[in-house]
Structure 1
């Protein structure tokens, strides 16, 4: 790691912080430095784009404006608030941690690294973000944007895909951080990575700290950061079916309480790739014969480690209650009931396909 000279560090801080103060985006979580609001935003922003998060964040704060409101909410309500954001373990961990804050800390988010790091789902980055942004403590908040920015500024060749590398960048932030403007400094590094120092084709000529950047000086900005490629994702072919009776009731079932998309509701679906196989498994597992099955759409959904390729069907039956499933909780719902159930994005799309194609 190429360190900045001590006199350059002061100028680097000033250039970076002044740029952020003048150019920062207007985002709803920047309205104030309430640690609860900062906390929620940082959890939502993990693995999710800013533009996607904004409407979810605003709705979340409308539903749960205080720690007490969120701590007292039931799981169905919090999953519905999170519906569409994915990675649902994030909101479950947040809920558990917020309940602990209410019970053990009087509803006040802890302001020490030791205490805040003990909360469920609060890793080094989230802890650093809350402590620096909300409480003004000189703690590093190192995410992918920060690692990319600093790998170029300090010419760091360590592989950012390796968990151990984070320590190198945390130490770099500790050496560089502006103790008088910790909130602005950490947010500026993130903002710089999001807007200017992007993964491909960074806008170096617009960068407020390019004079401090080792990679820019040597023309190496396209070679950094070093990041090993992720493993190839697995593709799974599924068949899902919207079973509907003359009164408009449909069958949905609840996913298991642990694992992928835990606790969310979905239409019956099976890992089969043909209509005949779907009929067979429905007859075998659910004791229901669906003669009138017709396709209503194809849905592709990408997770970090796998891809679902779903063929959606619709089936008309006389009574949806003839559908039986011994190891899942089942609900029989009409269109107006869906507002009370949290569904994965893929199954929201299946419902949309039913609305558009199933009534033709």
Structure 2
């Protein structure tokens, strides 16, 4: 039966897939919910968004997404607390960053109410899909791509905005060993590294596979010019703990302004942990590993929240990072996930109740 939620048209799926899902054994991002939000840009404006059954989409072979790569996305999560209330974590930051990414790729920016009201309507329709299991959540993927037709190398005249959701377990499991990249770059000055553009990730896959073939799980990206500075860890921002100081690189044209990254910096400072936002040289990290002052390295992002790094490789040498009992990674991850899941107070105003 069709309906309206938050002024969003709802077209319900005739059947549900939820009864076939094992919520105790969720992989990441493989199973999709019954519905999705869909909104088209055409005739110079965004049309009314609507919630529809999750389904394939049909595109013309000349759709510009296939040829010129106009595509941006976000990653978010929804959580259910013990009372069944649904929460989001800093969703307006995701909305703002989606538009920052869109602007850089000449994609028309999206109205805030289309994003927020559409997302809330979708979560209400698929509320039963939000897991309550510890460590699980509903992963949310908003994305925009060029659907307009034609081979001319120019921005498209039509776009499609979709939000799809997947109940998911942990993103990473087990130890993560990384290889510091000496040749390939994730992004460059003046480029689109700060945007969540699909092409950024496509360009990572080949160097990452080379690292996997050598026995590592991920790559630590270095700057495009000299490869002297550590920038990101795979698809995540990176933090390094030297002695008791937590260090992360500044955002730039090349580095994504991660929402988890910002949260970690603010949380750590509030807990009295010394934080430095500055450039980090590879040689500084290698020297710290040699003299024992390198206490921790971890990646930070929406999917994994915090992913500890157990060691790294550089110039054919491996460096182990011993596990610490009082690790910042576990301390900060617990505090952030407790806020996200409404298990603790939220002094920062990050948690967003879906009503």
Q: TM-score, normalised by structure 2?
A: 0.26
Bigger strand fraction:
2
Bigger helix fraction:
1
> Could you say which structure has the larger radius of gyration?
1
Q: TM-score, normalised by structure 1?
A: 0.26
